[in-house]
């Protein structure tokens, strides 16, 4: 048992790839903020990565079955934290998403993702692999839907959307059939249409963001500005890029928040198609290693947890990169392990810690 749970059973190739991506992130944040008011954020990112690594090793030693047992309590704490954000959270740029703790800003909605991954895994694992009933599906929607409603009220559409792949992965692996999928798809279309026309959940600027990517030239200085500048940055990078700290869109302060939501655009301008392709290949390797670990998990709950992590990371990567190249709307979803942000970095490393724990216990009966 002691040998099985040793760090020799870590997925070291996965961790090495993650650290390589983090190194690229720090260097790009430094380059992108060199002549802006955000200079020095790369140092903060290093601190967050160091803290994330420590948290990952700690979580890798906590039996994930215990984490599943603690989920009901953690879920309750998360709901209280989200309510606290709405009541006393700090308001920035019209959104109330953070709770200030001394010099740090804590974003509970990022941590909810990990709790939801564990909660959905616990729920579907307890069903024992039997065919899903309408009641089972409804309970799963309520489980994920309550936090979604609290987060969208902040408002934070981007983070709200990242909860949906957790539910989708749970339903798919939990055994939803084709007929149920068609019914759910139809209901989803009706619900989206209702939310769009109601005017209560989505703010006008959120609707503008969701439609401006289709034709950013309609309002190049307003709602289409971010998409337009990102496309110019990526296109001007060419094959090999302009070089570190030499991107005109990034250094000229045309590209919005190049160290966070649009860091992929800044990286593409400086390192071109070759650099962007290299980063995407790193992400591909990470996701493939995670899926491999899910296949070798000791039980269904372990597989569900890892695939929940895969679903969230895949969704965030696809939406962020798609946003940068004009295929997706601007939603404020960060690029995992690349974008600046403590809450996002810590969530990713904590999730990896749980994955490592599942891997280390894959031969334990």
Could you give the dihedral angle defined by the CA atoms of residues 89, 95, 98 and 103, in that order, rounded to the nearest 10 degrees? -100
**C-alpha–C-alpha distance, residues 218 and 297, integer Å:** 50
* Res. 201 pLDDT band, cuts 50 70 90: low
Residue bearing the bigger pLDDT, 344 or 224:
344
Contacts of 338 (CB under 8 A, 6+ apart): 21, 24, 25, 28, 263, 264, 267, 279
Residue bearing the bigger pLDDT, 198 or 18:
18
pLDDT at position 2: 44
Per-residue pLDDT reduced to its tens digit, 54-64 = 999 999 989 99
* Res. 193 pLDDT band, cuts 50 70 90: confident
pLDDT at position 166: 95
pLDDT at position 111: 84
**C-alpha–C-alpha distance, residues 160 and 139, integer Å:** 18
Query: In this predicted structure, which of 5-19, 165-179, 200-214 has the lowest mean pLDDT?
Result: 200-214
pLDDT at position 3: 45
Q: Which of 201-215, 258-272, 286-300 has the highest mean pLDDT?
A: 286-300
Per-residue pLDDT reduced to its tens digit, 98-120 = 776 666 667 788 889 999 999 99
How would you label 5-35 residue by residue, b for 16+ Cβ within 10 Å and e otherwise?
beeebbbeebbebbebbbebbbebbbbbbee
Ranges of each domain in the chain: 7-360
pLDDT at position 320: 92
DSSP 95: E
Give SS3 for 206.
helix
Q: Which of 209-213, 287-291, 340-344 has the highest mean pLDDT?
A: 287-291
Residue bearing the bigger pLDDT, 273 or 176:
273
Once rounded to an integer, what is the mean pLDDT over residues 42-46?
91
Given a cut of 50, whether residue 88 has pLDDT beyond it is: yes
Per-residue pLDDT reduced to its tens digit, 309-318 = 999 999 999 9
Q: Model-level pTM greater than 0.85?
A: yes
* Res. 1 pLDDT band, cuts 50 70 90: very low
Q: Which residue has the tokens 């929607």?
A: 141
Q: Which among 95, 96, 142 has a CA at the least distance from the CA of 116?
A: 142
Q: H-helix or E-strand containing 81? A: helix 64-88
287: left (phi over 0), alpha (psi -120 to 50) or beta: alpha
* Res. 364 pLDDT band, cuts 50 70 90: low
Mean pLDDT of the chain: 85
CA dist list (Å): 245 to 23, 34, 119, 263 = 16, 7, 43, 13
**φ and ψ at residue 104, rounded to 5 degrees:** -105, 155
Q: In what order do the strands lie in the sheet with 90-92?
A: 90-92, 95-101, 104-106
Query: In this predicted structure, which of 169-178, 208-217, 344-353 has the lowest mean pLDDT?
Result: 208-217
**Within a 10 A sphere around the Cβ of 121, how many other Cβ atoms?**
30
Once rounded to an integer, what is the mean pLDDT over residues 346-356?
94
The pair of three-digit structure tokens given for residue 161, joined into one six-digit string: 């959307």
Give SS3 for 286.
helix
The DSSP annotation for 337-360 comes to TTS--HHHHHHHHHHHHHHHHHHH
pLDDT at position 197: 73
Per-residue pLDDT reduced to its tens digit, 7-35 = 777 889 999 999 999 999 999 999 888 87
Once rounded to an integer, what is the mean pLDDT over residues 150-165?
86
Given a cut of 80, whether residue 195 has pLDDT beyond it is: no
């Amino acid at each position: 048992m002691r040998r099985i749970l040793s760090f020799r059973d870590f997925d070291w190739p996965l961790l090495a790839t993650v650290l390589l991506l983090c190194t690229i992130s720090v260097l790009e944040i430094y380059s992108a903020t060199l002549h802006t008011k955000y200079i020095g954020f790369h140092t903060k990112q290093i601190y967050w990565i160091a803290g994330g690594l420590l948290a990952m090793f700690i979580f890798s030693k906590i039996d994930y079955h215990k984490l599943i047992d603690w989920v009901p309590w953690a879920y309750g704490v998360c709901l209280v934290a989200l309510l606290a954000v709405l009541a006393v959270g700090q308001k920035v740029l019209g959104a109330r998403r953070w709770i200030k703790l001394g010099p740090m800003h804590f974003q509970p909605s990022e941590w909810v993702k990990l709790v939801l991954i564990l909660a959905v895994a616990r729920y579907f694992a307890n069903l024992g692999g039997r065919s899903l009933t309408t009641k089972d599906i409804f309970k799963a929607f309520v489980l994920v839907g309550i936090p979604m409603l609290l987060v969208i009220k902040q408002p934070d559409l981007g983070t709200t959307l990242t909860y949906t792949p957790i539910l989708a992965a749970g339903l798919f692996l939990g055994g939803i059939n084709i007929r149920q999928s068609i019914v759910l798809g139809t209901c989803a279309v009706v619900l989206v249409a209702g939310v769009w026309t109601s005017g209560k959940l989505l703010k006008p600027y959120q609707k503008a963001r969701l439609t401006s990517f289709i034709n950013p030239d309609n309002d190049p200085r307003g709602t289409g500005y971010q998409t337009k500048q990102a496309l110019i940055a990526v296109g001007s990078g060419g094959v090999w890029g302009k070089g570190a700290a030499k991107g005109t869109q990034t250094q000229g302060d045309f590209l919005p928040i190049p160290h966070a939501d649009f860091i992929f655009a800044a990286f593409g301008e400086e390192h071109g198609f070759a650099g962007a392709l290299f980063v995407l290949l790193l992400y591909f390797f990470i996701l493939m290693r995670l899926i491999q670990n899910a296949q070798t998990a000791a039980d269904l709950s372990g597989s569900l947890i890892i695939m929940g992590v895969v679903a969230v990371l895949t969704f965030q990567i696809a939406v962020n990169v798609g946003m940068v190249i004009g295929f997706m709307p601007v939603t404020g979803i960060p690029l995992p392990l690349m974008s600046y942000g403590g809450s996002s970095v810590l969530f990713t490393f904590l999730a990896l810690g749980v994955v490592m724990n599942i891997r280390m216990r894959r031969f334990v009966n």
